[in-house]
A and B are shown apart, each in its own frame.
Chain A
């Protein structure tokens, strides 16, 4: 047994209102630079729908992730090492900018300089790729809220086999939102595809990062990731991806997307796992066994044997404590309500999802029946095959049993808690019917409904004696490289990002400098500037809002 720690996330899809706050704050923190205009480390897609980049789940087309070879061994779906090298001069599976979307800005100049005239002046969209005026015809969430679903949602590959049953008429269809970040997989195919070995998994917390100094721009990771969560910065010529906001995680605060999530639906915590069994679990024969196989790789942190092995592996005591309190472990293995996204890609993803019950509830409510009654809900889950099958295509490689079980647990929680809230005697047969006891079901309710900040985010800090080493890692791997967030080189002699540096915005420059020089984590006391990347969400730091009245300046 080789114990390793992994920082992981669970999202409760029932609560996502599709507001895109997470995407926007993430973009402001990490990808608001030239070359990454089209890049969304966090995106929220409406399902059924095509997602971003368009139709990324069609692995017959994109060949991302792993597949099981004839000899039962795991190989990269797009071909092994030699094939990768043979294709290095032109990656046949690389999505083009049109598969994402052509980023644009508006010609604001015309608005500002327009003379008095009869007609309103218009700001035309200008492509950020070619610099020419363009017609906007696609974006990262063009089919938001089922927009254009006749044309788009029907092409969703996850509807395969159930298309005829799904009604995409606006009033009759079901829909939900799926926020996505990099999965920080246990068996990342992006890293395995990288010819330069620039993508690595941090041994301390499992965060997958791209070493910007080692990346040579071969683009194999972009096509190798089945979730299409590595992006090519077309100005610097390097790959970039979600960093799990590691500078925040190291000091014990959650990622920007979680911090700012309006629905408070994200949970962050540690999961201990047995690194020796990852490959074996990723190689089980039947796709539908992958969910169970991955769950079995996770180790129970309250097991003394695991604790001893963790100590031997050099995992600090407080990390094991944090793993015990981890909401992620609880949702995955104790309550068993969280499911992995596309286990069939065999990358062992580590951002898991609680599937939404609301499509089912909505259907019952629409028919005028009691949508909190256990009998009604259970019957609906059983008869409404369509949402269940669709969810199974997303989360369990098509196996409806686990999805069924999760939805029933959520339904049971709903009716059980209604009795309690109305002051009635709780009906203990409800938890029993889903194989739980009343207390566990109540605990689950607490975690899902009313858990406070420090229960949703249980993040042990990186250790002081590790901190410097991590810092060194960071200076070599992070996105704060020259030309990274906050800095952007004008076109230097070797292309964008080389040569002399000029900060693109004083705002960003200050932010970076402050972060590098301040001793405190929030570092907000300087100059009235607020660094959102470091803000822990508590209180309102000076400078967040304009000053009221007179307050002494400093």
Chain B
């Protein structure tokens, strides 16, 4: 059972994630958008959206540190267990609260503002359920592990997670983890599988190129866009 849940399911979900994105990018670039509803309603969005998104960016940063950086590394640079735990809970908690508050505002808005609700697809609703579940389970884990006894996920979940990418996953590490962590991981992987088929794809179009590109974009035929037909007779290109 553990092998299935914590070995097969993650790989399946990641495969769907990768192939799904490839498929979506190839066949549905037009559908690749944030599908903003700001035009319909701005007052709630003005607060909810930045809270949620910036909070989530913090949360993702925290996960990168917690999951990807091995415990030995932070200890090597002199961050003790106590300091690490304090930082994780305080900063993580702050980002988490911002995310949850943002999420609540956004979900409330989605449900109560008529036009926004009308523009919500079935896929959106499904995605919201999983997204909310992941976030709430994550919050619960943070709270629970500091209130009722401490589980060091950096020696369990994190090692397992890194194992997935080095192809040496150890499902046993997960079966020892508290139920909250198990569920959080499973729902997260389910969300990864849903990802390419929802509006979440907009995460991958974070427009970082904007910082460096020239302001005005010119486009024209250049050599490799010149078309597949040979040029017709009668017109010579001016040489430079």
A-side residues, CB < 8 A to B, are 81-82, 84-85, 88-92, 94, 96-97, 129-132, 187-188, 191-192, 194-197, 199-204, 212-219, 232, 234-238, 311-312, 314, 316, 463-466, 468-473, 477, 481-483, 491-499
Is B198 interfacial (CB 8 A cutoff)?
A: yes
Which of B32-40, B69-77, B88-96 is the contact stretch?
B32-40
Is B202 interfacial (CB 8 A cutoff)?
A: yes
Whether the Cβ atoms of B225 and A494 lie closer than 8 Å is: no
Chain B residues numbered 11-66 whose CB sits less than 8 Å from any CB in chain A: 28-42, 45-46, 49-50, 52-54
A215 to B219, CA, bound (A): 15
Is B210 interfacial (CB 8 A cutoff)?
A: yes
A residues near B238, Cβ cutoff 8 Å: 311-312, 314
Whether the Cβ atoms of B220 and A202 lie closer than 8 Å is: yes
Which of B118-126, B161-169, B181-189 is the contact stretch?
B118-126
A464 to B227, CA, bound (A): 11
Whether the Cβ atoms of A465 and B207 lie closer than 8 Å is: no
29 chain-A/chain-B pairs, Cβ below 8 angstroms: A89-B50, A96-B41, A131-B118, A191-B217, A192-B215, A192-B216, A196-B210, A197-B217, A199-B217, A200-B218, A204-B220, A215-B33, A216-B207, A217-B36, A234-B37, A237-B35, A238-B33, A314-B237, A464-B232, A468-B228, A469-B221, A469-B226, A469-B227, A470-B221, A472-B227, A473-B221, A482-B30, A492-B31, A498-B28
Residue in A89, A468, A483 whose beta carbon sits within 8 Å of that of B30 in the complex = A483
- Determine how close the nearest CB of chain A comes to the CB of B107; give it in whole angstroms: 16
The chain A residue sitting closest to B43, CB to CB, is: A96
Whether the Cβ atoms of B121 and A85 lie closer than 8 Å is: no
A residues near B207, Cβ cutoff 8 Å: 85, 88, 195-197, 216, 218
A110 to B44, CA, bound (A): 36
- Determine how close the nearest CB of chain B comes to the CB of A256; give it in whole angstroms: 24
A346 to B209, CA, bound (A): 25
- Determine how close the nearest CB of chain A comes to the CB of B48; give it in whole angstroms: 8
A442 to B222, CA, bound (A): 45
Whether the Cβ atoms of A197 and B38 lie closer than 8 Å is: no
The chain A residue sitting closest to B207, CB to CB, is: A195
- Determine how close the nearest CB of chain B comes to the CB of A184; give it in whole angstroms: 12
A81 to B211, CA, bound (A): 6
A residues near B35, Cβ cutoff 8 Å: 217, 237, 495
Chain B residues numbered 152-171 whose CB sits less than 8 Å from any CB in chain A: none
Whether the Cβ atoms of A82 and B34 lie closer than 8 Å is: no
A311 to B238, CA, bound (A): 6
7 closest residue pairs by CB, A with B: A498-B31, A195-B207, A203-B220, A469-B221, A468-B227, A237-B35, A192-B215
Whether the Cβ atoms of A129 and B40 lie closer than 8 Å is: yes
Whether the Cβ atoms of B30 and A481 lie closer than 8 Å is: yes
Residue in B40, B41, B46, B219 whose beta carbon sits within 8 Å of that of A200 in the complex = B219
Is B150 interfacial (CB 8 A cutoff)?
A: no
B residues near A216, Cβ cutoff 8 Å: 32-34, 202, 205, 207
- Determine how close the nearest CB of chain B comes to the CB of A181; give it in whole angstroms: 20
A171 to B141, CA, bound (A): 73
B residues near A82, Cβ cutoff 8 Å: 211
The chain B residue sitting closest to A90, CB to CB, is: B49
Is B235 interfacial (CB 8 A cutoff)?
A: yes
A91 to B121, CA, bound (A): 23
B residues near A81, Cβ cutoff 8 Å: 210-211
Whether the Cβ atoms of B232 and A203 lie closer than 8 Å is: no
Q: A200-B217, A214-B29, A216-B205 are in contact. List 7 more A-B contacts (CB 8 A).
A: A191-B216, A203-B220, A204-B220, A217-B35, A217-B202, A468-B228, A498-B31
- Determine how close the nearest CB of chain B comes to the CB of A76; give it in whole angstroms: 8
Whether the Cβ atoms of A212 and B30 lie closer than 8 Å is: yes
The chain B residue sitting closest to A82, CB to CB, is: B211
The chain A residue sitting closest to B221, CB to CB, is: A469
B residues near A187, Cβ cutoff 8 Å: 216
- Determine how close the nearest CB of chain A comes to the CB of B116; give it in whole angstroms: 9
A216 to B35, CA, bound (A): 8
A residues near B121, Cβ cutoff 8 Å: 491-495
Whether the Cβ atoms of B215 and A94 lie closer than 8 Å is: no
Whether the Cβ atoms of B210 and A195 lie closer than 8 Å is: yes
Whether the Cβ atoms of A493 and B210 lie closer than 8 Å is: no
Whether the Cβ atoms of B216 and A495 lie closer than 8 Å is: no
Interface range, B side = 35 or more
- Determine how close the nearest CB of chain A comes to the CB of B40; give it in whole angstroms: 6
Find the residue from B49, B124, B215 having the highest chain A CB count within 10 A: B215
Whether the Cβ atoms of B114 and A130 lie closer than 8 Å is: yes
Is B115 interfacial (CB 8 A cutoff)?
A: yes
Whether the Cβ atoms of B220 and A237 lie closer than 8 Å is: no
Interface majority SS on A: helix, strand, loop or mixed?
A: loop
Whether the Cβ atoms of B123 and A316 lie closer than 8 Å is: no
B residues near A94, Cβ cutoff 8 Å: 38-39, 42
Whether the Cβ atoms of B38 and A90 lie closer than 8 Å is: yes
Whether the Cβ atoms of B123 and A493 lie closer than 8 Å is: yes
A residues near B216, Cβ cutoff 8 Å: 187-188, 191-192, 201
A473 to B52, CA, bound (A): 37
Whether the Cβ atoms of B210 and A203 lie closer than 8 Å is: no
Find the residue from A82, A212, A465, A496 having the highest chain B CB count within 10 A: A465
Whether the Cβ atoms of A463 and B39 lie closer than 8 Å is: no
B residues near A85, Cβ cutoff 8 Å: 207, 210-211
Find the residue from B35, B122, B228 having the highest chain A CB count within 10 A: B35
Is B231 interfacial (CB 8 A cutoff)?
A: yes
Whether the Cβ atoms of B46 and A90 lie closer than 8 Å is: yes
Is B197 interfacial (CB 8 A cutoff)?
A: yes
A residues near B122, Cβ cutoff 8 Å: 493
A residues near B119, Cβ cutoff 8 Å: 234-235, 495-496
Whether the Cβ atoms of B219 and A463 lie closer than 8 Å is: no
The chain B residue sitting closest to A185, CB to CB, is: B216
The chain B residue sitting closest to A492, CB to CB, is: B31
- Determine how close the nearest CB of chain B comes to the CB of A249; give it in whole angstroms: 15
A291 to B215, CA, bound (A): 23
Find the residue from A465, A494, A499 having the highest chain B CB count within 10 A: A494
The chain A residue sitting closest to B201, CB to CB, is: A494
A314 to B115, CA, bound (A): 50
Residue in A97, A204, A234, A465 whose beta carbon sits within 8 Å of that of B232 in the complex = A465
A residues near B124, Cβ cutoff 8 Å: 495
A201 to B34, CA, bound (A): 24
Whether the Cβ atoms of B28 and A97 lie closer than 8 Å is: no
Whether the Cβ atoms of A201 and B217 lie closer than 8 Å is: yes
A494 to B219, CA, bound (A): 29
Residue in A214, A234, A316, A494 whose beta carbon sits within 8 Å of that of B28 in the complex = A494
A92 to B46, CA, bound (A): 8
- With A89-B50, A197-B217, A472-B227 as given contacts, are A217 and B114 in contact (CB-CB < 8 Å)? no
Whether the Cβ atoms of A129 and B115 lie closer than 8 Å is: yes
A23 to B124, CA, bound (A): 36
Whether the Cβ atoms of B115 and A237 lie closer than 8 Å is: no
B residues near A188, Cβ cutoff 8 Å: 216
Whether the Cβ atoms of B34 and A494 lie closer than 8 Å is: no
Find the residue from B32, B40, B213 having the highest chain A CB count within 10 A: B32
A200 to B215, CA, bound (A): 10
A40 to B155, CA, bound (A): 60
